Amino acid sequence: MSVGAWEAFLLILQRELRLSFRRPDQLLQPLVFFLIVTTLFPLGLSVQLSLLRDMAPAVLWVAALLSSLLSLDSLFKSDADDGTLEQLALSGQGLTVIVAAKTVAHWLVTGLALVLVSPIVGTALGIPTTAFATMLLSLGLGTLTLSWLGSIGAGLTIGVRRGNVLLSLIVLPLAMPLLIFGAGATDRAIAGASAAGALYFLAALCVLTCTLAPFAAAAALRITLE
Amino acid sequence: MTVERIMWTWFYKLASPPYVYGVAAALMPWLFGIAALAIGYGVVAGLAIAPPDYQQGEAFRMIYVHVPSAILSVTIYTIMACASAVALIWRIKVGHAVAAASAPIGASFTLLTLVTGSLWGRPMWGTYWAWDPRLTSELILLFLYVGVMSLRSAFEDPARGDRAAALLSVVGVVNVPIVHFSVVWWNSLHQGATIVRLGAPKMPGSMLWPLLSMWLGFMLFYGAVLCIRLQGEVLNRERQSAWVREAIKS
């Protein structure tokens, strides 16, 4: 029975989402981590709200990058450990489609969830509600780009013992432009200025990774699975 | 037809480890010799003969180490990525050896750039470190080098480590311009603070020639060190083969 690429994409996406929702604790962990990290900053800064508001975009974005990175390790790991990934690779479907489906699923359960939680964190950090639209949009684009970048890193570090630290070491330098544009956009929105420029850059990076990263990640898997 | 044929023959020969080992061994003394001459002239002319800068005084002489190493840090990354791409696409193992031999040299030059930059920054800007776009993107370049090097050594199977590191270098080279321009953009967002820039000043010949000579010398020095490291890499990778035994005996 042959299955078209799009159909395979949807099937794998469905499978990934079903697996995720069967382990709700694992779904919640990155979100709780996100909340905890953003709580650490006000505690460390004493209670000067003005200082906190200046730092809010940076805090929000660094926390989002870290918690998204935390969950990247599991992107291919469990499937590689029990052999599912090899079966998928042998299934005759392009590895690119498989990688894309898994990455989109990863973004839906971590990145998008993080975006949905961010208004709570934003309010706690003193970000005005007028900046929320920009914050949500930039976080959405940024976390999706990060998931794509992370899929390359996760593909490269599958066979490595204690690959988690190495994964951060590889992905974080690649993600630095995201932090710059994402926090920059939020910063400008808080100041009441137009954040369009930074958002366009984020969108451009997002398109770039959406189109190129699946191929790079598939190549990475081909190297590490061999 | 002939020129093309000769080019391809040469290209194929470069894929053979014994040939590359021989070429590296033969080139190395020449590269070292010319590099020593070029750096020697650059040091004497740059440190002793060139006049002090009218604004920066004697401190400007840091340029003779800083700028060549900064250029090399980026050039070596590009060479490493090209060698990696060649190795991935045509499955030429020598490409991995070139990339593996280049990475530590490139990382050293990046570190040298950062150190000389901050030593230069102290008398000029009054601080060892400023979040200047160039400094920041150089620092990120160092992180990229470290990532590639650690990924290569993380695998138990060296061939797999090679190919993983090669892919990462190619991904990184796409990212280098993005990082650079995003950092420039980021700085323009933070206007108001002291914008420290190293503008490209117009230079008189007495200052410029030593700089060009140092640049040439550094490039050749990289070539020479690459030859040494490449010989080591090739020997290590081909240690099971007969020609290595021959080469070591003789």
Query: Environment class of residue B4 by beta-carbon count within 10 Å: exposed (0-12), middle (13-18) or buried (19+)?
Result: exposed
The token pair at A211 is 């189109």
Q: Residue A1, SS3?
A: coil
User: Touching check for A131 and chain B: CB below 8 Å?
Assistant: no
Q: Which residue has the higher pLDDT, B225 or B59?
A: B225
Rama region for B199: left / alpha / beta (φ>0; ψ in -120 to 50; rest): beta
Q: What is the pLDDT of residue B193?
A: 36
Please check the confidence at residue B53 and state whether its pLDDT lies above 80: no
Domain residues for A60?
Answer: 5-225
Please check the confidence at residue B191 and state whether its pLDDT lies above 50: no
Alpha-carbon distance B179 to nearest alpha carbon in chain A (angstroms): 6
Residue of B150, B175, B185 with shortest CB distance to A174: B175
* Interchain CB distance below 8 Å, B186 and A180: yes
**How remote is the C-alpha of A23 from its chain's centroid?**
19
Residues B42 and B214: beta-carbon distance below 8 Å? yes
| Closest chain A residue by Cα to residue B170 | A216
What ipTM goes with this model? Answer: 0.86
Q: Residue B84, SS3?
A: helix
| Closest chain B residue by Cα to residue A224 | B160
Please report, for chain B, the start and end positions of each structural domain, with discontinuous segments joined by +: 52-210
Give the dihedral of Cα atoms B169, A176, A150, A93; nearest 10 deg: -70
HEC assignment per residue over A124-157: HCCCCHHHHHHHHHHHHHHHHHHHHHHHHHHHHC
Report how far residue B14's alpha carbon sits from residue A79's, in angstroms, rounded to the nearest whole number.
40
Report how far residue A110's alpha carbon sits from residue A68's, in angstroms, rounded to the nearest whole number.
6
Alpha-carbon distance B171 to nearest alpha carbon in chain A (angstroms): 8
Q: What is the pLDDT of residue B194?
A: 36
Give the DSSP per-residue string, A86-124: HHHHHTSS-HHHHHHHHHHHHIIIIIHHHHHHHHHHHHH
Q: What share of chain A is helix, strand, coil (3-state, %, to 5)?
A: 85, 0, 15
Please check the confidence at residue B224 and state whether its pLDDT lies above 90: yes
Mean pLDDT over B87-101 rounds to 91
Report how far residue A204's alpha carbon sits from residue A137's, in angstroms, rounded to the nearest whole number.
13
Name the one residue in this structure whose structure tokens are 């920041």: B136
The token pair at B11 is 């290209």
* CA angle, residues A95, A101, A104, in degrees to nearest 5: 135
Residues of A in contact with B189 (CB under 8 A): 184, 187-188
Number of independent structural domains in chain A = 1
Q: Which residues of A37-46 are buried (b: 16+ CB within 10 A; e: fewer)?
A: bbeebbeeee
User: Touching check for A160 and chain B: CB below 8 Å?
Assistant: yes
User: Touching check for A216 and chain B: CB below 8 Å?
Assistant: yes
Q: Which residues sit opposite B191 in a β-bridge?
A: B193
Instruction: Kindly give the confidence (pLDDT) of every residue in chain A, 226 residues in length, as a single tens digit, with 9 standing for 90 and above.
Output: 567 888 888 988 999 899 888 888 888 888 999 999 888 888 877 766 677 778 888 889 999 999 888 888 888 888 888 888 888 888 878 889 999 999 999 999 988 999 999 999 888 888 888 889 999 999 999 999 999 999 999 999 987 877 788 898 999 988 888 888 888 888 888 888 888 888 998 999 999 999 999 999 999 998 888 7
| Closest chain B residue by Cα to residue A218 | B167
pTM attached to this predicted model: 0.87
* CA angle, residues B87, B98, A150, in degrees to nearest 5: 60
pLDDT band, very low/low/confident/very high, at B189 (cuts 50, 70, 90)? very low
Residue B57 DSSP symbol: B
Residue B48 DSSP symbol: I
Residue of B155, B172, B185 with shortest CB distance to A160: B155
Reference B166, options A216, A226, A77, A75; nearest CA is A216
Cβ within 8 Å of B, A 166-185:
166, 169-170, 172-174, 176-177, 180-181, 184
* Interchain CB distance below 8 Å, B164 and A156: yes
Condensed to tens digits (0 to 9), the pLDDT of residues B117-129 reads 888 888 877 777 7
Residue B46 DSSP symbol: I
* Average pLDDT of the residues of chain B: 84
Reference A198, options B128, B247, B40, B188; nearest CA is B188
